[in-house]
Structure 1
Amino acid sequence: MRYRRLFIKRMLCISCLFPVLLSCANSSSSASTSSPAGTSTTVVPSSPPEWKKCGDIECASISVPFNYASPELGSFTLPLTRLRALDDDLRQGVLLVNPGGPGAPGSSLAQNAAYYFSKDLMTHFDIVGWDPRGTGASTPAFDCGDSYNDFFANERTVASTQKFVDTCKAKNPEIISYMSTAASARDMNTIRLALGEEKISYFGFSYGSTLGATWATLFPDTVQGAVFDASATPNSTSAERRLTQAEGFEKQLTAFLAQCSKNSSCAFHNNGKAEQAFDDLLATEATANATVVLTATASSLYDDSAWEDLAQALKSAQDGNGQPLRDLYNSYYYQDAGYEDSRNVSEASIATICDDESQRMSTAEVDAQLISFTRVAPRFGNFFGRDYTCSLWPTQKSSQEQLKISSTAAIVVIGSTNDPVTPLASSQSMSAALQNSRFISVSSSRHTSYLKNSCATQLVDAFLIQGTMPPSNSQC
């Protein structure tokens, strides 16, 4: 179970923690930048994907233009993977799947389908994953270099952010303007066309909800059915979403520390004074600086099953060994062994978020709004609020085309009552923006609910397989 927990946590939530915890969902989805890729232009693939055997699954690739309005500018090559339906006689089509992000590759979902989806879904659908533009093994990939600690492990300053942004621009001149959610949503339609399907089903976790909602807004008639598990508030700014997240993580951290103070079995019990011990650890920075401590801590708050490991890591740091916290930090940024192909996740995430953001604040405005962050999140406020990246991003916000999330497609949205990343109200707002959706509320402190809650899993499977919409405002 540990592998499944860590695998899902890492893949679903990867972008939510860029020490400015950028956002698990860029819900103000715009079209691309420069010359916007956000037109209704459709590019029909010249030929279907050439599938080949890749272990237990099939793999292929597809080309999509940088800019759908100007295909001659160049193209991305996106890896595709497919696990065929387990029963050909029961097959109901394609389930396109996305693990979250933005910035996270999704081609591994077919190979690891059993960790994400029920056997019923695998029986009835071809599970198709892909690496979105600029991510994972797609080419060209958005990559700003390997010196993560120079930027990610330290408190943000305007100067350090400008240096990072300049590096990103220098290393990705061709594609920096073409990483938007809207462009990626159009890639989904190109994938559908390449597969020869009139309609497809979709399952998106976390940011995958925003991507799916953008696709359903642009191409509602191609949606057979869609499920969004844990959504950010649609049509909001990144600052608004980060403020919501700061408050959510602060509440989750408070709950974790209160539990540690109450239970003597908690490794970070500290004679019932876990809260003070945590604050002391942040203040002294004896074994790890505050940014590393907060990154490691927040990365463990998505799911309360990770709290025990977090408590052990904090206790080790308190005892003079900061390596467990640094391991959590490195794991979050894919800096540990075995994840070399995913080490551009954070850069791709930033590129997408900033390309999506049409209401960018100046650096002075970022500083001015910090007080609102620290008011709702004394520990996490600066961590979430001090984000100069999109303020300094080199693409032109004036050329971005706003896309308001709204769709008549059949969609089910799931939200958890105590999700710190995408709070219940955020998922409810997503459902409200989708005219033909149903909402499932899950009593849980975890980010995402499918396969973690049997009630929600059964309702989702009935919807995707039988087309049975859940009762209005279902509670699990």
Structure 2
Amino acid sequence: MPLSARLVAPTGVARDPRHRTVALLSAVLVVVVLLAGCVAPKNQAAGEVPGSPTVEVTGELARFYGQQLEWVTCAQGECATAQVPLDYADPAGPEIGIALARKKATGGEPIGSLLLNRGGPGASGVDFVSQVAGMVSSDITRQFDLVGFDPRGVQRSSPVECVDGPGLDEIIAYDPDYSTDAGIQDVIDMYGELGAACEQNTGAALGHVDTVSAARDLDVLRAALGDDTLTYLGFSYGTSLGATYASLFPATVGRLVLDGALPPNLTSAEASEGQAVGFENALRAYITDCQAGARCPLDGSVDDGLAQITELFERAEANPLPTGTDRALTRSLAFYGIALPLYAQSYWPLLSQALTAAIDQNDGSLLLQLADQYSDRQPDGTFSTNSTVAFYAINCLDSRAPADFDAMRAEAAQIQEAAPTVGYFFGYGGTVCAQWPVPEVGGLDSYAAEGAAPILVVGTTNDPATPYRWAEQLADLLSSAVLLTYEGEGHTAYGSSNDCIADTVDAYLLTGAVPAEGTRC
């Protein structure tokens, strides 16, 4: 199936599967994958986040900034709903609710709130808040209230709603035929039908789930939480949201950690080719490691191993693999099953098991389980989140790739040349939004964020989903950014790499200490 021009798969690479608990129920493959007061200003203890004069908010927006959050006990700790305008151009018009969850600081006198976004677009921050508590140090949990939120359009915050489980299954498993104009048009029509269903079932909110609006929500949340400045930890797409916030509100930037960078000004072609090459490189690293072990399903050289992966994709397209269920493993599902374990080196043994079954036994069941985990599909055929359709909706508002057939063919050929094994899955992104029923909103004219406090950008040298050069680009784009480099594998680094990264990020969040330019861990 075609991949978004903004991020990899329609389910969204930035929906980092390491940042949620995963139970893959199989006799062979069982693993757990991981990845203050309502409104009163925080008491600023040692290590306080420096305040800066907040721009006075007047008119209809003032009531949103001055709202008092009503916290209630919930599974995540405490939960509340903040009200924001549906359309910031009409703050007197309809409102929507933004769901929040909070784990209060264990030390009693918090520095402030640490707002969390795990990516997507489309991932739930409410669900993430419990998991991130196990990723960060005890110093962070002691001194910050951890606050997750579902951005507009996501899960609990006026969610995008489109089709039922079987309908989404059909879209995710679909193998397109790009060899003819008719085949390309079929893909455009399929996504056009999805968009129509989203418009019918979501209503007016479908036209207002863009990243710029979500960044404006973030400032309302900051104020409603009682913080003079924003302290924020964003992963993957969350870096684009954070960069957008900094560019809109540089005076209220406190300490922003942007890990796994997605520059918000990337063109569709740059995003597609960058991710294709990122996953190709991650696959090479996996095969190198696999072939150095005792029981690798891919023999010969690394290039031979890549050729065997290509053969598997082609076989799955011609004759989808049986899975022991009424769902066969298509080429698209095989890609998702291979992509998910590339997010972290610790998952590579899962990929070896799944490839052994698929290549040696013509059994696609383990790759299907991994693909289902990638898209939040449950064994009963329902989806535990709306992340897939939220991903489409947000991306189609933020930016649209050209849908000209010749232009898409030329771009796909370039991507395929750069990433021969997986490039097929990153072309023709313009098909997704070609018939989207609401107009594109777009981004900002500038993302320099002039005047913002120092911002920490974290990049991983062989990140499959957000290539390292994107971290370099984002650090250059933001006028006050400093780049911290993790030399390793996997998507994002904080909370999943080494003590050097953890200690450096913690020091920045707790004291504002910025690492020296060029720091590598």
Instruction: Tell me what 1:251 maps to.
Output: 281
Instruction: Tell me what 2:70 maps to.
Output: 50
1:420 pairs, out of 441, 458, 464, with: 464
Instruction: Tell me what 2:255 maps to.
Output: 225
Q: Residue 365 and residue 72 in structure 1: after superposition, are their counterparts in 2 closer, same or farther (change >3 A)?
A: farther
Q: Secondary structure at the match of 1:236?
A: coil
Q: How far apart are the structure 2 equivalents of 1:110 and 1:461?
A: 17
2:108 is the alignment partner of 1:88 = yes
Question: What do residues 271-312 of structure 1 show as CA deviations (whole Å, max 9, x unaligned)?
Answer: 665334322222222412211111111122111211110111
Runs of 5+ unmatched residues, structure 1: 1-14, 26-39
Question: What do residues 410-456 of structure 1 show as CA deviations (whole Å, max 9, x unaligned)?
Answer: 21011011111111110011111111121111111111111222101
2:152 is the alignment partner of 1:122 = no
Q: How far apart are the structure 1 equivalents of 2:254 and 2:408?
A: 41
Q: What's the offset of the Cα at 1:22?
A: 7.4
Instruction: For 2:515, give the aligned amino acid.
Output: P
Question: What do residues 242-284 of structure 1 show as CA deviations (whole Å, max 9, x unaligned)?
Answer: 1100011112112222333343332x14466533432222222
Between Structure 1 and Structure 2, how many residues are aligned? Answer: 445
2:510 pairs, out of 440, 444, 465, with: 465
Instruction: Tell me what 1:151 maps to.
Output: 171
Instruction: Tell me what 2:364 maps to.
Output: 322
Are the equivalent residues in 2 in contact too, given 1:66–1:175 (CA < 8 A)? yes
Instruction: For 1:159, give the aligned amino acid.
Output: D
Q: Residue 144 and residue 55 in structure 1: after superposition, are their counterparts in 2 closer, same or farther (change >3 A)?
A: closer
Are the equivalent residues in 1 in contact too, given 2:85–2:96 (CA < 8 A)? yes
Q: How far apart are the structure 2 equivalents of 1:363 and 1:145?
A: 30
Instruction: Tell me what 2:240 maps to.
Output: 210
Instruction: For 2:517, give the aligned amino acid.
Output: S
Are the equivalent residues in 2 in contact too, given 1:41–1:69 (CA < 8 A)? no
Q: Residue 42 and residue 360 in structure 1: after superposition, are their counterparts in 2 closer, same or farther (change >3 A)?
A: farther
Question: What do residues 362-404 of structure 1 show as CA deviations (whole Å, max 9, x unaligned)?
Answer: 344323321111111112112111221123322224x646342
1:454 pairs, out of 482, 499, 502, with: 499
Are the equivalent residues in 2 in contact too, given 1:180–1:352 (CA < 8 A)? yes
Q: What's the offset of the Cα at 1:112?
A: 2.5
Instruction: Tell me what 1:282 maps to.
Output: 313
Instruction: For 2:344, give the aligned amino acid.
Output: D
TM-score w.r.t. the length of structure 2 is: 0.80
1:368 pairs, out of 385, 410, 416, with: 410
TM-score w.r.t. the length of structure 1 is: 0.87
Instruction: For 2:398, give the aligned amino acid.
Output: D
Are the equivalent residues in 2 in contact too, given 1:231–1:430 (CA < 8 A)? yes
Q: Residue 24 and residue 345 in structure 1: after superposition, are their counterparts in 2 closer, same or farther (change >3 A)?
A: closer
Runs of 5+ unmatched residues, structure 2: 1-5, 17-58, 177-186, 322-328
2:363 is the alignment partner of 1:333 = no
Structure showing greater radius of gyration is 2
Q: What's the offset of the Cα at 1:23?
A: 7.0
Q: What's the offset of the Cα at 1:61?
A: 0.7
Q: How far apart are the structure 1 equivalents of 2:380 and 2:504?
A: 36
Q: How far apart are the structure 2 equivalents of 1:307 and 1:260?
A: 8
Q: Residue 372 and residue 254 in structure 1: after superposition, are their counterparts in 2 closer, same or farther (change >3 A)?
A: same
Instruction: Tell me what 1:18 maps to.
Output: 9
2:148 is the alignment partner of 1:104 = no
Question: What do residues 314-371 of structure 1 show as CA deviations (whole Å, max 9, x unaligned)?
Answer: 1111202211111111111111259967431011011111100066443443233211
Q: Residue 21 and residue 77 in structure 1: after superposition, are their counterparts in 2 closer, same or farther (change >3 A)?
A: closer
Q: Residue 403 and residue 342 in structure 1: after superposition, are their counterparts in 2 closer, same or farther (change >3 A)?
A: farther
Q: How far apart are the structure 2 equivalents of 1:331 and 1:248?
A: 21
Q: How far apart are the structure 1 equivalents of 2:391 and 2:76?
A: 29
Instruction: For 2:122, give the aligned amino acid.
Output: G
Are the equivalent residues in 1 in contact too, given 2:398–2:443 (CA < 8 A)? no
Instruction: Tell me what 2:199 maps to.
Output: 169
